[in-house]
Structure 1
Amino acid sequence: MNTTSQFTSNFWNIYIAVIVLLSFIGLIWLLLSQNKVKSPPKGEDVKTMGHSWDGIEEYNNPLPRWWFWLYIATWIFGAAYLFLYPGLGDYKGYLNWSSANQYEKEVQKADEQYGKLYAKFADMPIEQVAKDPQAQRIGKNLFDTYCIQCHGSDAKGSKGFPNLTDHDWLWGGEPEKIQETIQKGRIGIMAAWGPALGEERVKDVANYVMSLSKGKDQYDEARAERGKLLFNGPPANCFTCHGDKGQGIQGLGPNLTDDVWLWGGTQKAIIETITNGRHNQMPAWDNFLDKDKLHIMTAYVWGLSNKDGKSPTKPTEAVSASMPAGTTPASESAVSAPQAASDSAELVVDNADVTYDTQAGTPIGTFYFATGKSEVANNAAIILTDLIRAGKDGKKLVVSGYTDSTGNAAANEKLSKARAQAVEDFLKAQGIDAKNIELRKPENTTAAQGNNASGRRVEVKVEG
């Protein structure tokens, strides 16, 4: 019994131990109480119990000796087992056995037996490991152990579980990205837009999404035109995750212009996705796979979509932005590849943009900034019409600035204030009275660790 269940009382430990011991006493009493009948003297008939069914009578025979001693042996075995192993409440047994200890010993034994085999491939490039027949057999065994439950024995996945044999990778199909996915896991979230859009506007957006990859006979053109406006503007702003042409943004939103659909590409399935949102999670396997096994597993998965052993041409990022040559950011370190999306599906590319979220109860306008910059996005006035209207109607707009954790901490704090002031100036320029705008310094101006674009932001909350 797990001791964590006994925070306040040892009752259940004693309860289980007493029940088990009484059961053993009861079993031996039952045996002995039924063993009183002896065989009749030679020549005498066995008496009956007085029961008869269709001429068949029940005789009062003694217990068979073989059955009696088998019962005794079973009882003794049970008692010995409870002495040696856990079973009486919190008693750990004479051998102090546990499933965790046994597992660790088996893993240690397997590592000693196969560790050298795995290490053989540790220093080989992924592309070379992917071609090695022995490594592929090992990788297939690992895949069958940990992965087929979701991705299938053929690795082609199913509804809600991605196909690993094509080149459609939301988080990146390069070896290092695949290894990161296996090791750390992934969480993919699409917000539910049904409450914000309503049934008819959801259908409009769905028809526009279908127009990106399907023939004209499969969608309504009028709805698609209306859906395009919603896709590229408030309140949906789908382009922030899927790109301005629906081409997708790595680590944030899938490509909508091809015919690869994780949750189904029919109009019904797309409407369901937009209405209810989606939440998918790939578990992290770093606690199960050591670095050598992870290397082989990565090579196997990479090889599923690169049968010729060559990587496809790396596509251009769907949305990208870089700083002008020779420009040094005020702080925050230089930007590298786009970061993984946060749970709230915020924009993660390194450029200025804005979003407006009304689903959390308190409407929030979020201004994203390029690394080291405080320039407001050019499309802010178009996207944030509802926020601007709220400010003009007398609602208080609370402005708070943030940075990521890279660069100089003191300079970052000044940068977070500069960003908040830039947003304040923007709001004033839209005709909002200064008395309706409040700059409020957050308790911690570092909103994200590392080079993470979700931290380079200013939040504007509508209050009152």
Structure 2
Amino acid sequence: MNSTSQFTSSFWSYYIIAIVVLSFIGLAWLLLSQNQVKAPPKGEEVKTMGHSWDGIEEYNNPLPRWWFYMFIATMVAGVVYLLVYPGLGDFKGFAGWTSKNQYEKEVEAANKQYGELYAKFGKMPVEQLAKDPQAQRIGQNLFNTYCIQCHGSDAKGSKGFPNLTDTDWLWGGTPEKISETISKSRVGVMAAWGPTLGEERVKDVANYVLSLSKPEEQYDPVRAQRGAAVFHNPPANCYTCHGDKGQGVQGTGPNLTDDVWLWGGSQKAIIDTITNGHHNQMPAWQNFLGNDKVHLLTAYVWGLSHPDGKALPTDSTNALGAKAAAAAKAAPAASQPAAVSASAASAPAAAPAATPAEDKADVTYDTQAGTQVATFFFATGKSDVAANAASVVGDVIAAGKEGKKLVISGYTDSTGNAAANAELSKKRAQAVQAFFEKQGVKAANIELRKPESTTGAQGNNAEGRRVEVKVAG
């Protein structure tokens, strides 16, 4: 209990006092009530209590004197303790002890003992301290006390907490930046893009992100190609934080090309990150540890990722991962966004897709990773094909007439009744099928294929109200 309880009522202080005092009274009564039995006169046998367990009986003997006086001594010690130290409600005790002033005295004693040593190390450069065995031992002790809860005993971090032994730095890996991070704290925020982009475009961006560092078998090149457009254009504009090639911007967004992941690098984890966002905070240690201890911690952390004791280019500028660097070298950055895969880099450049009108029929055509794709957009609740469709998708019509397979998949947004939406997506796909048959494409060359998820967007979004037509061969 403390004085803050008085802000509401003094009842709780008196409540605690009453419980403690009544407990002592109860214990005293119990002791005295059990001390009524006297030893029998010499020569008489001690009576039993009438209890028997397997032939063993309980004698009615008086309390041993040593035990009786020890119990009294314990109660007296308890009373003395409660008078000297806090324990009776808001009563602080005659000694005036608090955990805070005890901590301050211990810190003061430690500063007297080690203050000169800390001050000595505080004047030495980080690079020098990183090579000093004594300084590193002290730095490691500080790290083990304050940092391993998040960064692990090996400093390699865990999900949501960064690895401090590699060369990937979100806020910079120079001694000055590391010291600033430890001293002043950091707050990292990844916005939740799920409501804005919708389920399908989130998957597209996730596949593009995977393509920046993963082998092609771990992502869908077609989705990656679409995701590249979302990454570099409104409404996402991911490159603002993550750089035009995904290399990241120190102090703003992490490098996506080096296969180092704070929240997981699987497709599921990346989709979750894009959809729901993340919020992370590194606490500020300056006021708690002071300058000299922060300096020693800085030297220890810097030494973990700089075993040679030399500064690295990645301390201040992110480096492209091997795959992204190779793609950037093969194709000049100005010609197109970063290559998403080996096959996509060699494919004809996709024509920029037109932005669909929010609530009316529209159609676009482009090539994605070498695949011809026509996208039909629809007004809310409608299945009417855009009037200019024939002139926009002439190449797809020609491919169908030549005998190539046209695969048609319908989508809806996530608003309204799910069953009705599913039926509407099917109706739209059938309307597109009828459109191509009217243009002279044989029904045998058209396939209606239900997509893995018919919901193309979260909310009422034109990206959801679409039908995609791919030329399959």
Moved more, 280-289 or 78-87: 280-289
- Give the superposed CA RMSD: 1.9
Q: Point out the structure with max Rg over C-alpha.
A: 2
Within-5 A mapping of 1:389-428: none
CA distance in 2, matches of 1:270, 1:8: 48
CA distance in 2, matches of 1:23, 1:58: 28
The answer for the alignment partner of 2:336 in structure 1 is: none
Q: CA deviation at 1:209?
A: 0.4
Asked if the contact 1:243/1:318 (under 8 Å) is kept, the reply is no
State whether structure 2 residue 299 is matched by structure 1 residue 299: yes
Q: CA deviation at 1:315?
A: 6.6
Asked if the contact 2:168/2:318 (under 8 Å) is kept, the reply is no
Q: CA deviation at 1:238?
A: 1.3
Q: CA deviation at 1:317?
A: 5.0
Q: For residue 43 of structure 1, what is the amino acid of its counterpart?
A: G
| 3-state SS of paired residue (1:57) | strand
Q: CA deviation at 1:22?
A: 1.2
Q: For residue 4 of structure 1, what is the amino acid of its counterpart?
A: T
State whether structure 2 residue 309 is matched by structure 1 residue 309: yes
CA distance in 1, matches of 2:11, 2:88: 13
Identical columns (%) = 74
The answer for the alignment partner of 2:342 in structure 1 is: none
Asked if the contact 2:173/2:314 (under 8 Å) is kept, the reply is no
| 3-state SS of paired residue (2:289) | coil
CA distance in 2, matches of 1:16, 1:22: 10
The answer for the alignment partner of 2:80 in structure 1 is: 80
Q: CA deviation at 1:287?
A: 2.4
Q: For residue 127 of structure 1, what is the amino acid of its counterpart?
A: E
The answer for the alignment partner of 1:66 in structure 2 is: 66
CA distance 1:158–1:318, shift in 2 (3 Å):
closer
CA distance in 1, matches of 2:41, 2:13: 51
The answer for the alignment partner of 2:179 in structure 1 is: 179
Within-5 A mapping of 1:359-378: none
| 3-state SS of paired residue (1:189) | strand
Asked if the contact 1:193/1:276 (under 8 Å) is kept, the reply is yes
The answer for the alignment partner of 1:107 in structure 2 is: 107
| 3-state SS of paired residue (2:263) | coil
Asked if the contact 2:174/2:315 (under 8 Å) is kept, the reply is no
The answer for the alignment partner of 1:249 in structure 2 is: 249
Asked if the contact 1:85/1:97 (under 8 Å) is kept, the reply is yes
Q: CA deviation at 1:20?
A: 0.9
Q: CA deviation at 1:7?
A: 0.9
Q: CA deviation at 1:35?
A: 0.8
The answer for the alignment partner of 1:424 in structure 2 is: none
CA distance in 1, matches of 2:56, 2:8: 59
Q: CA deviation at 1:129?
A: 1.2
Q: For residue 128 of structure 2, what is the amino acid of its counterpart?
A: Q
CA distance in 2, matches of 1:60, 1:147: 61
Asked if the contact 2:194/2:275 (under 8 Å) is kept, the reply is yes
Q: For each residue in 1:254-287, what CA deviation from the matched residue of structure 2 results, as whole angstroms up to 9, or x when unmatched? A: 0001111111111111111112211111111112
| 3-state SS of paired residue (1:287) | helix
The answer for the alignment partner of 1:161 in structure 2 is: 161
| 3-state SS of paired residue (1:120) | helix
Q: CA deviation at 1:190?
A: 0.8
CA distance in 1, matches of 2:4, 2:57: 56
CA distance in 2, matches of 1:257, 1:53: 77
TM-score, structure 1 normalization:
0.67
Displaced runs of 4 or more, over 3 A:
314-319
The answer for the alignment partner of 2:117 in structure 1 is: 117
Q: CA deviation at 1:318?
A: 6.9
Q: For each residue in 1:185-215, what CA deviation from the matched residue of structure 2 results, as whole angstroms up to 9, or x when unmatched? A: 1111111222222222211111010011111
CA distance 1:148–1:315, shift in 2 (3 Å):
closer
The answer for the alignment partner of 1:407 in structure 2 is: none
The answer for the alignment partner of 1:15 in structure 2 is: 15
> Structure 1: which 5+ runs fail to align?
320-381, 387-464
Moved more, 83-92 or 48-57: 48-57
Q: For each residue in 1:325-363, what CA deviation from the matched residue of structure 2 results, as whole angstroms up to 9, or x when unmatched? A: xxxxxxxxxxxxxxxxxxxxxxxxxxxxxxxxxxxxxxx
The answer for the alignment partner of 1:258 in structure 2 is: 258
CA distance in 2, matches of 1:251, 1:67: 69
Asked if the contact 2:185/2:281 (under 8 Å) is kept, the reply is yes
Q: For each residue in 1:392-418, what CA deviation from the matched residue of structure 2 results, as whole angstroms up to 9, or x when unmatched? A: xxxxxxxxxxxxxxxxxxxxxxxxxxx
CA distance in 2, matches of 1:227, 1:74: 75
Q: CA deviation at 1:316?
A: 6.9
CA distance 1:224–1:186, shift in 2 (3 Å):
same
CA distance in 1, matches of 2:119, 2:272: 47
CA distance in 1, matches of 2:293, 2:241: 34
> Structure 2: which 5+ runs fail to align?
320-353, 359-473
Q: For residue 68 of structure 1, what is the amino acid of its counterpart?
A: F
The answer for the alignment partner of 1:283 in structure 2 is: 283
Q: For residue 207 of structure 1, what is the amino acid of its counterpart?
A: N
Q: For residue 7 of structure 1, what is the amino acid of its counterpart?
A: F
Q: For each residue in 1:198-245, what CA deviation from the matched residue of structure 2 results, as whole angstroms up to 9, or x when unmatched? A: 222211111010011111111001111111111112222211211121
State whether structure 2 residue 29 is matched by structure 1 residue 29: yes
| 3-state SS of paired residue (2:288) | coil
Q: For each residue in 1:141-193, what CA deviation from the matched residue of structure 2 results, as whole angstroms up to 9, or x when unmatched? A: 11111111111111111111111111101000000110011111111111122
Q: For residue 192 of structure 1, what is the amino acid of its counterpart?
A: A
TM-score, structure 2 normalization:
0.66
Matched positions, count = 323
Q: For residue 132 of structure 1, what is the amino acid of its counterpart?
A: D
Q: CA deviation at 1:2?
A: 2.4
The answer for the alignment partner of 1:445 in structure 2 is: none
CA distance in 2, matches of 1:137, 1:256: 34
Asked if the contact 1:135/1:296 (under 8 Å) is kept, the reply is yes
Q: For residue 143 of structure 1, what is the amino acid of its counterpart?
A: F
| 3-state SS of paired residue (1:288) | helix
CA distance 1:315–1:85, shift in 2 (3 Å):
closer
The answer for the alignment partner of 1:3 in structure 2 is: 3
